[in-house]
Chain A
Amino acid sequence: MISSLKTYETVTTEKVKVWFKAAPTSRFPKNGGACIKYKDKQIAVFNFAREGRWYACQNLCPHKMEMVLSRGIIGEENMEPKVACPLHKNTFSLKNGNHLNGDLEAIATYPVKVEDDIVYVGFSE
């Protein structure tokens, strides 16, 4: 279980080595998410249109180890953007990955940029 958690580590903008070209913006529903594949990783990418921001995090929910976070509802708690796991409504900050309604391990987050209507996600490897 731990081994699969380790494959997801937060990448900050400074550490980005690869800006991976994911998909056109139109493939991501407004105020919702979709999943992309990068190497053997599954990454959830969210088009938080209300904030005018994009976020990305691991698709794996650390609670029951299911690849489901991209299908979760997004929203905000005290203006902290978050995603709710569709299985048991665990919520995670989209900014730093912290588990907001419990003590699970934080999830990994990744930087996102949009250029010419194409979504790029930053990876360090």
Chain B
Amino acid sequence: MKTIIVVGNGMVGYKFCEKLVSREEGKQFKLLVFGEEPRAAYDRVHLSEYFENQDAKALELAPLTWYAENNIDLIVNERVTDIHRSKKSITTASDQEFFYDHLVLATGSVPFVPPINGVEKEGVFVYRTIEDLESMLSYAEKIKKENKIGKAAILGGGLLGLEAGKAVMDMGLEPHVVEYAPKLMPRQLDSRSSNVLKLTLESTGMNIHLGKATNKILGNGSITGLDFGEDDMLNVDMLVISAGIRPRDELGKTCNLEMGVRGGIVVDDKMRTSDPNIYAIGEVALYNQMIYGLVAPGYEMAEVAVNQILQKEVLMQQHIDMSTKLKLIGVDVASFGIPYMPADKGLSIIYENKTKGVYKRINVSHDGKTLLGGIMVGDAEDYSILHQMYLNNIPLPENAEELIVGARGEGGSPFGSAMDLPDDAVICSCEAVTKGAICCSVLEDGNETVKAVAKATKATSGCGGCKPMVADLVKESLKTLGKTVKERICEHFDFSRQELFDIVKLRGIKDYYELLDAVGTGHGCEVCKPTIAAIFASLHNETANRQETIQDTNDRFLANIQRNGTYSVVPRVAGGEITPKQLIAIGSIAQKFDLYTKITGGQRIDMFGAKLHELPLIWEALIKEGFETGQAYGKSLRTVKSCVGSTWCRYGMDESVSFAVEIENRYKGIRSPHKFKGGVSGCIRECAEARGKDFGFIAVEGGWNVYVGGNGGASPKHAELLAEKVDKATAIKYVDRFIMYYIKTAQPLQRTAPWLEKLEGGITYLQNVVINDSLGIADELDQEMQALVDSYKCEWKEAVETPEIRERYTHFVNSDETDSNIEFVALREQKMPKEWA
């Protein structure tokens, strides 16, 4: 039996094993694998997830039993130290010798640590292995113990650097990304997109320093700061170096394989090194004079090497795709093909929207026919399809700009459908799964869900970037079989939310289990219970107190659960108008119960850190002072934000505060598919940001403009104009109908902005329904809204006054003790939850 030795059990080394043993001919080899790390191969791409749960098992590519089942001898914690090419053997750190017929080097790379004075100091880390993360975590703990707001710098503003920045931020440190180049992700972004990204990241709390050369790492033993020269310094308690990678090519060097000038073991398109019995794959291999720091090319190299050893003529492609989509940092960033280039190579179309933090650029050939590459920041929804168009040389539509700014006029996507791609288009590049394979898995193998297709084909199991496309393909393939993907809320109800809404209404059902027995199956779950609870609330204005066990925890206890299992308390302050007396009352109640207080973006006051048993006591006190629940916990109206308007402001065209108070009191207590917010501005200067809300009114010459479907948050969107210059009563009527229509037809947890976006015909259709009554339902909507307005009651008052409901507010049912797991630490003269140690 011939022996293959694989040096390195990283992502690519593992993939080589997986591919070899999946082939029948592969069984004739004995496979011996050495790994220097103390554990079997794991998913380095998703390494940052380790910070979330510190669960190394979750990252494992295959359990140890898998190696045993496939007759692979895996020796971990053992470094290979020498190759003896003449004898065809290797020796290991513990001085054992093993003989091979084929040797595969998959030793990967190490982070490049620039020779800066002081890099050896304590508190300086690299970001590559689980062990690196463990030491970062324990160091961060140490910092936090000594000093509440520790700072961490990341050296390098590339792809990995930004990911590391997010990771240290999640660890509770103040992140500072330091980049030598004048822009972020210099290889992938042009300066304008880097600016957009920088602004967005800064708004999330990441500090970014560009054009800084770090001269020296300061500190006595452990790091205290970075010195950029000329008296420019940054104090930090920790540093993560992410300045690129260097191939781990020392084995190649010492046995005189052909090497690149700047490192890397040279391979040909068969993945063979200068010794035909030795292959190199992954980040150690120098192919076409390049090291490829991504998994997809590494996996392809593994495929080529397996075929070569099995004597099949499969070769590495000439051109390697380096397109990337950033994960985990909370902002969409993607680049593909040639991201930026001088004008003589092609033409660029650029779309930039500074208010939304969106930048898109595509580069097209001079004849306007082919897509050469592009950049997307802030909105990479169309990345997969653009990437596919680029990879497959799909001819561009006549107006190529529609690819990034959307088609003008109604309907019709400029892309056509994912189904238009050729069958051999690679959809999942990590696992090299083609469109043909995905569709075939649906059409011929009967896999009907994304999950099943993923299991059968492995698509989406790498970086996951291809998920939306796979979902589209599955859906479209099912359609060709005459099956539609029925929207059902979960396994217990074969209905969409809208259908359930109608059923509940028509049959007058008021009880969850009655509905389940009538039209559902089984005992329900965490998806259908709260969805149906919201339907009951929207139809009957039932408070969350009656069927408390089908409510999400926030509704069940009428408060927002926070990080450490405590709750926050928010009384309603309609329109943001509050008397001095009420302010004092809130202040003294917060002081009495030792709550952390903060003014919210919705112009009211949030009190944090209440334990479960304190909630009724706090509310009793608030209600005594005339407050009502602010329902900050519910999928319901939050606040109607207002500017001071003509009452005080010299620009004001009308009284925005009075209107906001009136409208907030009108809609308070109404439950909906998701939370919704309003705003009222006294003039077009828009100080109340009404167009960033689900509904908004702006006073103009001759009346009010009414806007709907706006959104702040993660995907900001300006509201669209529903009606112009109408009087107050009409404005309210239109918004009544809009909200009611949304409540009846939206999906669970769908905000008004995406709802409006999905509504066929968009705002024009909505205007027809709401203003021209095209569906003939306006009267019904009006009545339903009025019924909700008339039946409002404060659910906290109900809870405080009803002994059976009050009884729910204890942590233990067999003890008056409180949860000893909850601990607080001091924060700027208030308190905050203690991190779990």
A residues near B557, Cβ cutoff 8 Å: 71
Whose C-beta in chain A lies nearest to the C-beta of B529?
A73
A76 touches B813 (CB 8 A): no
Are A37 and B565 also in contact (CB < 8 A) when A30-B549, A71-B557 are?
Answer: no
Q: From residue 20 to 58 of chain A, which have CB atoms closer than 8 A to chain B? A: 22-23, 27-32, 34-37, 42, 48, 50-51
Q: How far is the CB of A19 from chain B (nearest CB, A)?
A: 14
Give the residues in chain A near B529, CB-CB below 8 Å: 73, 75
Number of A-B residue pairs having CB atoms within 8 Å of each other in the complex: 107
- A86 contacts B525, C-beta separation under 8 Å: no
Closest to A102 in B: B58
CA distance A27 to B53 in the complex (A): 33
B526 within 8 A of A: yes
A44 to B349, CA, bound (A): 58
B688-722 near A? 1/0 per residue, CB < 8 Å:
00000000000000000000000000000000000
Nearest opposing residue in chain A for B526, CB measure: A84
| Residues on A with beta carbons closer than 8 Å to the beta carbon of B565 | 66-68
- Looking at B111-119, B208-216, B358-366, B815-823, the stretch in contact with chain A turns out to be B815-823
Partner of B525, one of A22, A65, A75: A75
Q: Considering the chains assembled together, what is the distance between the CA atoms of A27 and B812 in angstroms?
A: 10
CB distance from B545 to the nearest CB of A (A): 12
Q: Is A76's CB under 8 angstroms from B814's CB?
A: no
Q: In the assembled complex, how far is the CB of residue B250 from the closest CB belonging to chain A, in whole angstroms?
A: 35
A2 to B57 CA separation, bound complex (whole angstroms): 14
Picked from B524, B550, B561, B563, the residue with its CB within 8 Å of the CB of A86 is B561
Q: Which of B491-509 contact A (CB under 8 A)?
A: 491-492
Interfacial chain A residues near B57, Cβ < 8 Å: 103
A64 to B836, CA, bound (A): 8
The answer to whether residues A35 and B811 also contact, given A66-B564, A76-B522, A77-B525 and a CB cut-off of 8 A, is: yes
Are the C-beta atoms of A32 and B55 separated by less than 8 Å? Answer: no
Among B54, B548, B563, B815, which residue has its beta carbon within 8 angstroms of that of A29? B548
For the complex, give the distance between the alpha carbons of A67 and B836 in Å: 12
Q: Contacts A22-B813, A37-B812 hold; do A68 and B561 have CB atoms under 8 A apart?
A: yes
Inter-chain contact B564/A36, CB cutoff 8 Å: no
Question: Which one of B530, B564, B565 has the highest number of Cβ atoms from chain A below 10 Å of its Cβ?
Answer: B565
The residues in A between 74 and 110 inclusive whose CB is less than 8 angstroms from any CB of B are 74-79, 81-82, 84, 86-87, 89, 91, 102-105
Contact in complex: A89, B526 (CB < 8 Å):
yes
A73 and B530: CB pair below 8 A? yes
Contacts of A34 in B (CB 8 A): 813
Residue A72 CB within 8 A of the other chain: yes
- Against A, the Cβ 8 Å flags (1 = close, 0 = not) of B560-579 are 01011100000000000000
**A63: interface (CB < 8 Å):** yes
CB pair A73 B55 closer than 8 Å: no
Q: B552 at interface (Cβ–Cβ under 8 A)? A: yes
Q: Is B523 positioned at the interface, with any CB of A under 8 Å from its CB?
A: yes
Q: Out of B548, B807, B836, name the residue touching A65 (CB < 8 Å).
A: B836
CA distance A36 to B197 in the complex (A): 49
The answer to whether B54 touches A28 (Cβ under 8 A) is: no
Task: Classify chain A: how many residues form its interface, as a range.
Answer: 35 or more
A36 touches B548 (CB 8 A): no
Q: Are B513 and A32 in contact (CB under 8 A)?
A: no
Interface residue? B254 (CB, 8 A) = no
B553 is an interface residue with CB less than 8 A from chain A: yes
Chain B residues within 8 Å of A81, by CB: 523
The answer to the question of B556 belonging to the interface, with a C-beta cut-off of 8 Å to chain A, is: yes
Minimum Cβ distance to chain A for residue B265 (Å): 35
A25 CB, min distance to chain B CBs, angstroms: 11
CB closest chain-A residue, reference B59:
A103
**Contact digits for B530-558, partner A, Cβ 8 Å, 1 yes 0 no:** 10000000000000000011111100110
- A82 contacts across to B, CB distance below 8 A: 525
- Report Cα–Cα, A34/B809, bound state, in Å: 10
The distance from the CB of B514 to the nearest CB of chain A, in whole angstroms, is: 13
Q: Do A104 and B561 form a contact, CB below 8 Å, given A37-B817, A73-B552?
A: no
Q: A103-B57, A104-B53, A104-B55 are in contact. Are A76 and B525 (CB under 8 A)?
A: yes
Contact status B552-A86, CB under 8 Å: yes
A66 CA / B836 CA spacing, docked (Å): 9
Interchain CA distance A105-B58 in the complex, whole Å? 10
Are B815's CB and A76's CB within 8 A?
A: no
Q: B55 near A103 (CB under 8 angstroms)?
A: yes
Minimum Cβ distance to chain B for residue A108 (Å): 16
Q: A30-B549, A84-B525, A103-B58 are in contact. List 6 more A-B contacts (CB 8 A).
A: A29-B548, A36-B813, A50-B513, A74-B549, A75-B526, A86-B552
10 tightest A-B CB contacts, nearest first: A32-B549, A75-B525, A86-B553, A84-B526, A27-B813, A73-B526, A50-B523, A76-B523, A103-B58, A23-B814
Point out residues on A near B: beta carbons under 8 Å: 1, 22-23, 27-32, 34-37, 42, 48, 50-51, 60, 63-68, 71-79, 81-82, 84, 86-87, 89, 91, 102-105
Q: List 14 A-B contacts (CB under 8 A).
A: A31-B523, A31-B549, A32-B549, A35-B811, A36-B812, A42-B812, A66-B564, A67-B822, A71-B557, A73-B550, A73-B553, A76-B524, A86-B561, A89-B526
